[in-house]
Structure 1
Amino acid sequence: MKWSFGPLALLLLIPALVVACSPFGDDDGETVTVGSKDFAEELILGEMYAQLLEDHGINVERALNLGGTNIAHEALINGDIDLYPEYTGTALLAILSMETMSDPDEVYRIVSEEYAEQFDLVWLEQAPMNNANALATSREFSEANNLTTISQMVEMAGEIRLAAVPDFEEREDGLAGLMQVYGDFELQEFLVFDPGIKYEAFLDGDADVVQVFGTDGQIGGYDLVVLEDDQGLWPPYHVAPVVREDALDANPEIADILNEVQPLLTSEIMTDLNWMVEGPEGRDPADVARDFLIENGLIDE
C-alpha cells in the first residue's frame, strides 16, 4: 500500500475543523487539536504527539495531513489546531524570511524567540534528527554526469528536469533560495508533484533530480546520491512541536508529555520509521507511531 498525501485532504478536513471551532476543541480547554503537514514523517510525528497526549488522559482531535507549511502555520495561528510538528530551518527561512545560518542551537533560539513575539507560539524541545532540505539523483545519473554538488547541477541546469513538491518553487529554502545563493539558472523543466507521488515520478524517469529531505527513507531504499549543498543554502532542520501559548496555558502538561519523546528522534530512527510507511511495507503511520512509543516505554499497549 502506498501512502499519497495531497491538497485535497485539506478540503476533506474542513468540516472537522469547523466542528473544532475553538482553539482547544471544547469549551473547558480539555481537548487538544493536533495537526500535521502532508507527508509521511509529519503524519508519524503527529500521531506520536496525539497518542502521547491521549495516553496521559488528554482528549485529542486529529487534523493531520493538512497540506504544506503555509497551510499548517496558518491553521495554527488561526486557532484551527493547537500544535503541529515544525522544522527549525523551515521556520527560519520560509516563515520568518531570515538569513540562513548553520548553528542548530542558534537557529532554535531565534525561531523560538520570534515565534513567541510575533505569533504567541511556543517551540518545545527540538529533536536531534535533522531533516534538511536536499536535492538527490540516481547513482547512475550521478556517475554518468559526474554530478555530486548543487553547483555542478546549476552548471548543467538546461539539461536537468527537477521534481519537487508544490510549495518548493516560491519558498526561501526552495527554488527561489537556490537561485539567490547559486545564481539565476534555467532548468530544462521544473515539475511539481504531491509528496506522495514525487518519488514515484522520479523513479519512473520523469525527472533527473528530485527534492528530498534528510530523513527520507527513500534515499537509502533507492540508493540515491544526495547532492552536496556546497554554497550553504540550507540551515539545520530539527523538528519540534510548536504549540499555541493559550493551549499550553489551558493544558500545561503538554510540554512535559511531548518533550519526553524528542530526544529519541534521531535521524537514523526517523529514516527507518519513514521507510516503514513509504517503503514496501506501506504501513499505516498511526501503527508505526504506536509501535515506536510502546517499544520505548512511552505509552501502554
Structure 2
Amino acid sequence: MTGTRLNVRTILGTMLAAGALLTAGACGGDDGSAPSPGGDSDPTETTEPGASETTDSAEKGTVAMSGQDFTEMQIMAEMYRQVLEGAGYTVDVNLVGTRDLYIKGLGNGQIDLVPEYLAGIADQLNGDKPFTTNDTQEALSAVEPLASDAGITMLEPSEATDQNAFFVTQDYAESNDVTALSDVAGVGDSVTLAAAPDCEGRGDCEGGLTEVYGIDIERILPTGFGTQQTKDAVLEDEAQLGLSGTTDASLDELGLVLLEDDKGIQPAQNLIPAVNSDFLTENPDVEALLNELSGTLTTDDLAGLNAQVDIERQKAADVAEAYLSEKDLI
C-alpha cells in the first residue's frame, strides 16, 4: 500500500479509546455498542489461528480488518479472515462499536478491509443523507463514486441482506393488534426505543419511525443493535420497541415479534466487502477471494449462521469455518 501504514492495533486502539469517551458522555457509562453473543460489550479482536491458516500465511503480508462488533459482523469478519489466511495472508481483526470509528481509516489506508452493509456505508459516505432504494444495483451505482472519492473500492454485493427491523413483545402485539410499524403509531402512546447509539435521526431508524410512520418516540435507550440488552429492555418493558435485523433468529424463541416495514423505510442492505483502494491495487487477488464468498452467501445462510452463534452458543470462528468448508471456500 502506498504511504505510511501504522500498526492496526495502535490505530484502532486510539479510535476505540476516543469512541469510548464519546459514548460514555452520551450514555452515562453504558457504551451502547453491540456486544458479543455472551453479552460482553468489549470490542472484539480476532487473531487466533483458524483451520484455514496455512504454513506460509505470512508470505503475502498482513491485512488490517475492522468492522462493527455484533454477532453477524463477527461471523462475516471470521469468514473474511479464514478465506484470506487460507490464501496466505495474515489477518488482524479489530471490531468496534460504530461505523464512524473506522470509516476514515478505511479510506486513508490505516485499515484495509471491512465487511459492510451496502446502504449503511452509502449513507456514511454521503454525509448520512439516506439512500432509500431497495434495488441492490441502483444502490451500488450510487455508492461506488462516493467510495472511490474516499479511497475505498466496493467489491461484489452478496445476495445475503440484513435490513433494520423493529420488534415488540408478543403481548404488546396481541393486546394492541400490532403487526406492522404503522400499527404502532395507531396505538397512540409514546414509546421508548432500544437501539444502536447511531439510530437517532437516521432515515432507516428513529428518523424514519418518527417522520414517515409518525411514531412518538419519547427516548432512545442506546443498548445496541440486536443485542441481548436490547431484547431484555423490551422484554422487561423498559422499552416498547427494539431494533434488530431481519436475520435475527433468536426473536421467536424469546417471544418477540418482528413488525412489517409497511411503508418501506429500509434500503438495500446487502453484505458487501469494502476495501482500501491502494491495498486492493497491491493485492488484486483479494477481490476474487472475497467475491467468491459474496457469490455463495444467501440470506437464509446468514440467518442460520446467526442462529448457531446466538441460540446454540457456538463460536463465530467455528461456525465460519464449518460453513466455508461445506462450501469449498477454504
- Same fold at TM > 0.5: yes
**Which of 143, 155, 160 is equivalent to 2:186?**
155
Cα separation, partners in 2 of 1:207 and 1:189, compared to 1, 3 Å: same
Query: Does the 8 Å CA contact 2:203/2:265 hold for their aligned counterparts?
Result: no
CA distance change for structure 1 residues 261 and 148 in 2, over 3 Å: closer, same or farther?
A: same
**Is it true that 1:74 corresponds to 2:104 in the alignment?**
yes
Is residue 2:135 matched to residue 1:103?
yes
Q: Secondary structure at the match of 1:275?
A: helix
- Whether the 8 Å CA contact 1:157–1:188 is kept in 2: the answer is no
Residue matched to 2:18:
none
Shift of the 258–153 alpha-carbon distance from structure 1 to 2, 3 Å rule, reads same
| Structure 2 CA distance for aligned equivalents of residues 113 and 124 of structure 1 | 13
Match of 2:116 in 1: 86
Query: Is 1:126–1:239's contact at 8 Å kept on the other side of the alignment?
Result: yes
Q: Which amino acid aligns with 2:275?
A: V
* Matched residue type, 1:277: V
Unaligned 5+ residue runs, structure 2? 1-35, 48-58
Deviation at 1:179, TM superposition (A): 2.5
The answer on 1:249 being equivalent to 2:281 is: yes
What corresponds to 2:23 in structure 1? Answer: none
- Aligned equivalents of 2:107, 2:202: Cα separation in 1: 19
Match of residue 208 from structure 1: 240
Letter matched to residue 142 of structure 1: A
The alignment status of 1:233 with 2:262, answered yes or no, reads: no
Q: By percentage of residues, which structure has more helix? A: 1
Question: Structure 2-normalised TM-score?
Answer: 0.77
Question: What is the alpha-carbon distance in structure 2 between the residues aligned to residue 265 and residue 220 of structure 1?
Answer: 23
What is the number of equivalent residue pairs in this alignment? 280
Relative to structure 1, is the Cα distance of residues 172 and 71 closer, same or farther in structure 2, using a 3 angstrom cutoff? Answer: farther
Q: Which residue of 1 aligns with 2:297?
A: 265
Q: Please name the residue that 1:4 is paired with.
A: 39
Aligned-partner SS, 2:168: strand
Query: Residue 77 of structure 1: SS of its match in structure 2?
Result: helix
Report deviation, 1:155.
3.1
Cα distance between partner residues in 2 of 1:260 and 1:296: 10
Deviation (angstroms), 1:188: 4.2
Q: Which is bigger in relative contact order (C-alpha 8 A, separation at least 6)?
A: 1
Aligned-partner Cα distance in 2 for 1:158–1:94: 32
**Residues 153 and 274 in structure 2, CA contact (< 8 A), matched pair in contact too:** yes
Alignment of 1:144 onto 2:175: yes
Once the two structures are superposed, residues 218-257 of structure 1 have per-residue CA deviations (whole angstroms, 9 ceiling, x without a partner) of 2343353222222221112101110000110111100001
Distance 1:166 1:56, change over 3 A: same
Percentage identity across paired residues of the two chains: 31
Q: Greater shift after overlay, 241-250 or 105-114?
A: 105-114
Report the RMSD for the aligned CA atoms in angstroms: 2.4
Provide the residue aligned with 1:20 in structure 2.
none
- The superposition leaves residues 53-88 of structure 1 with CA deviations (integer Å, 9 ceiling, x where unpaired) of 00001122222x211122232331243321111111
Residue pair 2:43, 2:97 contacting (<8 A) in 1 also: yes
CA contact (8 A) 1:158 1:188 kept: no
Distance 2:217 2:130 in 1: 26
Whole-Å separation in 2 of the counterparts to 1:43 and 1:81: 17
